[in-house]
Every structure is written in C-alpha cells, then in structure tokens.
Amino acid sequence: MLAILTRERTIPVEERRALFESLMQRSYRQAFSLAYRLTNNAAEAEDLVQETFVRAFRFFHRYDETLPFTNWLYRIMSNAHIDMVRRRGRLKMTSLEQPSANGLATVEVPDADSSPDRDFLDNSMGEHVQNALSTMTPEFRTAVLLADVEGMAYEEIAEVMNTSVGTVRSRIHRGRKQLRKHLVKSAPDVYGGMNNEL
Amino acid sequence: MNCNHVQRLLCDFVDGELAGNQMLAVRRHLNDCPACSAERDEIVAVKSTVANLFVPECPQGLESRLMAAIANESTSYMPRRSYRPVWAVCAAAAACLAFLAVANRPEQKTLQATGVVPYEIARDQAYSGGGDSLSGHYPIMPVSHGSR
C-alpha cells in the first residue's frame, strides 16, 4: 500500500505524460472507432475521444498497469458518452424554453444527410442498424457494441460499465431485440421476414 | 430443452457465453428445430452487421490535437503532493480552533460536594444528588440519559 502511494507521488510528471502519450498513440484509432459507433457522427466522436483521453490523463494515477489500457479507457468513454448524451438532452430542453428573437422556439438538430462521411455509408443494412443504434439508450448501445464490435465477454463488459453480468446480459438481449424491431419497422421489405415477436 | 428455454439462451449461445453442457443442449435443439435455428441466424446476422458497421478514417490531425489537449491538461495538472501542504494547513488550523474552543470554554459551576468523591467524574457528567441523610455527605451522582 505504502509502495503504491509513494510510487504514485514519485513518478515525475514528464515520465507520466510520456507513458500516457505512448498508450494514447497506440489506442486512439480504436477509441475513435468505438466513439464513432456510439455517436454516429465524426465531429461528436472526436469530441468524445478528446474528452475521454483528457479524463484518462487526469486519473492516470488510478490506472492499474496489469490490466488492458483499452478496457480502462472504454470505461471512461462509456461514462463520458452518457454524460454527453444527458448534457445534450438538457441543452435541447433549454433551447425549447428560451424562444429565439422571433418568438419561435428552435431546436438544433444535426442534419445527418449533410455529413461528409454519409456518402461512404453502406446504404442498406448498415445504415438501418446505425440508425437503430442511435435510437437506443447509451447504456444499451455501449453493451451491444462492446459485445459485437470489441468481442468482449459479458464479464469484461460488466467491468467496463461498472455493473453486474446479469445487467449486461439483459442490456444485450433487450438491445438486440430493439435493433430487430427497428429493422423490421424501418425496412419491412428487407427485414419483414424477421420474427418480430421475440 | 423446449423452444422457450432455448430462445432465452440464444443471445448467450451466439456470444459464446454458455457453459459446456448448456451449449451442447442448445446446439442439439437447434439441429432439430428449424424455428429456433432461424432465430439464431437472425441474431447472428444482426450481430455481424453491427460488427461490420462502417467507420470513417480517423480525422486528419486527430493525433496532434489529442497531444495538444494532453499538453494543455499537463500544464494545469497539479501533482498530488502539492495539495498536501494545503491539507496540512487546514488540519493544523482545525486543530488550533478545536484547542481554543476547549481552552476558552466557560467555567462550569463547581459542585459543592462536602463529602469525599470516590472516583473522578467529569463535571458535565455528574450532579450533586442532595444530602445523604445517614452520612450528611453530598454524594456525586452520574447523570443518566433520562435526567439530562
């Protein structure tokens, strides 16, 4: 215990920063990839990645070097994303309550079609799934993405999301169910055959 | 294992989260049941689509912007030890205040006990119980919660 405390204090700031930067250089692409899937928007993904790394650096003394850096980073990103979504929700509510100069209440809604990366999107199933993911709560979305994209075990996801394995299982089951419902509803010609009763 | 039971386990099955025996039982059921097998295929299809979702390349200059953000954070970062004198000063000030408060406490009225006090009791913990008719002494009585 004493060793940990003294080590924490004795690592020089420069050395600490160099170690953090090398970990960041190795992981930022992967972090951006998850952030993009969470936010479905390149600019928001960059904001999320930046917020995540700044928070990670601030609490780097708490990082246990025996565990994978990305798992620890995803934990921070998951929290930062939930904060971001809630903050955005509050901002939208504020803009409704404070009408603009012409007396009309306005809400800023990002125009998904104007995004430059939109052209590259696969217009079939991928787009429907990404839209379906956007309608899910951040907790459900994160659980599904960590399982399907990162291939994490439920136990690892539980650790990242600071919850129980049972909760993770329930979020993944219900998240996938929501995805399928959304797909059947948004593109019945493609997914009409899917069993929507589950 | 019936269909309801298997369908509840399908997500776990697809994610490789089932223990050996359960996994074999589900697999056996899937071989014989086309409905559950179709259900499994749908979950696999959704899972693989999520896994292969399009992600654009990292924005140009993201790495240098992250480095700059960390450099900025680093200059405003205060090492933990620099907080320690602040805490020490706060603790010392609190200790001084506590000492002064105790030292300047108004003197409490001394009990007029004429007899011998058998053991030492803090003043605010005791009161004089009145004269003892047999010995003529004033015994010191401890204060019970009820009489406070």
- In this predicted complex, what is the ipTM? 0.70
Q: Which residues of chain A have pLDDT under 70?
A: 1-11, 90-125, 189-198
Tokens representing residue B136 in the block: 């003529």
Of B17, B43, B56, the CB nearest to A36: B56
Helices (H) and strands (E) in chain B, counts: 5, 2
User: Which residue from B39, B54, B58 is facing A195, i.e. has the nearest CB?
Assistant: B39
pLDDT tens, position by position, B27-70: 999 999 999 999 999 899 889 888 888 888 888 899 999 999 98
B104-121 pLDDT tens trace: 766 554 445 455 545 555
Return the SS3 of B141: strand
Which residue, B73, B84, B91, B89, is CA-closest to A9? B84
pTM: 0.65
Q: Does A63 touch chain B (CB under 8 A)?
A: no
Is the pLDDT confidence value at B124 over 60?
no
Between CA A2 and CA A110 the distance in angstroms is 51
Q: Do A125 and B15 touch (CB under 8 A)?
A: no
